A and B are shown apart, each in its own frame.
Chain A
Amino acid sequence: MAFQILLNFFIASVWMFMSSSMNARTFIVGYLIGFLLIFMMRRFFKQRLYIERLWATIKLTLLFFKELTLSNISVLLLVLRPNLNIQPMIFALPTDLEHDWEITLLASLITLTPGTIVLYVSDDQRTLYIHAIDVDDVDDAIDSIKNSFEKAIKEVSRP
């Protein structure tokens, strides 16, 4: 991915030298031309086109903002409810993410989603221990959210 972006910048600067005008507009034109070239040559790269991973990242960000808003509204309703009948629970969530940054990202996302906080990551990094604030309406919903987050993260990290 980094190689493709670097190559695209390189083509853009070559374009700037060829048209011998050093300003931002020429750079943008060169960058677009470079992207077109890379798109046409996509068979020769071992990895996916970098624009796909960029798009996956943007989708993950949007998902994150949606979940952040929902989590805050749920905490707001929970806090302002007159009688506080919550049932907290600490449960284990198996994960099959491999890299450190993926697990960090997943833990941060889980911490900012409705009613869950990551308490502990097991030593082999295969299990996350999560504190849920209200077990009966969250437990199933949580798992589906995890799956969607985990899938989105995998989509970003797929080479």
Chain B
Amino acid sequence: MTVLANSLIVLTIVVGVIFTLVTVIGILRFPDVYTRAHAASKSATLGVLSILLGVFFHFWFNEGHFSIQLILGIVFLFITSPIGGHLMSRAAYLSGVKPTVLTVGDDLAEVVKKARQNQLPPREDE
């Protein structure tokens, strides 16, 4: 039983570390901000989540302490991390960061241009 519990703990923490490492490699290798946001918002979520889960299992099985804070941490991470990824890439797009040259199509450019024209009429002093 202890062996089983310990191997579960080791497995979750190793998976978490691997995914965190993949996040770092992805951020270094991908060409632009949007593809980097992919690596950062997905792998980092699951990475930190697995590590927290491993810590939770360790304290539950080996110390007999059922930690609610860790569960809450996992839930909060789940709620906030996709929103963070969305907001950062949205802010990047709206402030005019160009996607990489590899990008095939861009349906959003038209919309943003039209919205700009409607909201901000050209100033007279320019």
Contact = CB atoms under 8 A, between A and B. Distances in A.
Contacts of B94: 120
A44 B101 CA distance: 61
A84 B93 contact: no
B21 to A, nearest CB: 10
- Chain B interface size band reads 35 or more
A80 interface: yes
Interface stretch (B5-13, B27-35, B65-73): B27-35
A135 B111 contact: no
B38 A117 contact: yes
Contact of A72 (B37, B43, B89, B108): B43
Interface stretch (A16-24, A50-58, A85-93, A144-152): A85-93
A77 B25 CA distance: 12
B41 A111 contact: yes
A107 interface: yes
A89 B99 CA distance: 9
A117 B85 contact: yes
Counting chain A CB atoms within 10 Å of each CB, the highest count among B85, B86, B94 belongs to: B86
B17 interface: no
Nearest to B92: A119
Contact of A88 (B26, B35, B39, B82): B35
B30 A75 contact: no
Counting chain B CB atoms within 10 Å of each CB, the highest count among A72, A80, A118 belongs to: A72
A119 B35 contact: no
A108 interface: yes
A112 interface: yes
B116 interface: no
A47 interface: no
A88 B112 contact: no
Can you list the 8 inter-chain pairs with the closest CB atoms, starting with the nearest? A111-B82, A108-B82, A79-B26, A129-B108, A92-B107, A89-B104, A72-B46, A90-B106
Given A88-B104, A108-B83, 12 more contacts: A72-B42, A76-B43, A79-B22, A84-B31, A88-B32, A88-B100, A88-B102, A89-B103, A107-B82, A108-B79, A117-B89, A123-B115
Interface of A: 68-69, 71-72, 75-76, 78-80, 84, 86-92, 107-109, 111-112, 115, 117-120, 122-123, 129, 131, 133, 135
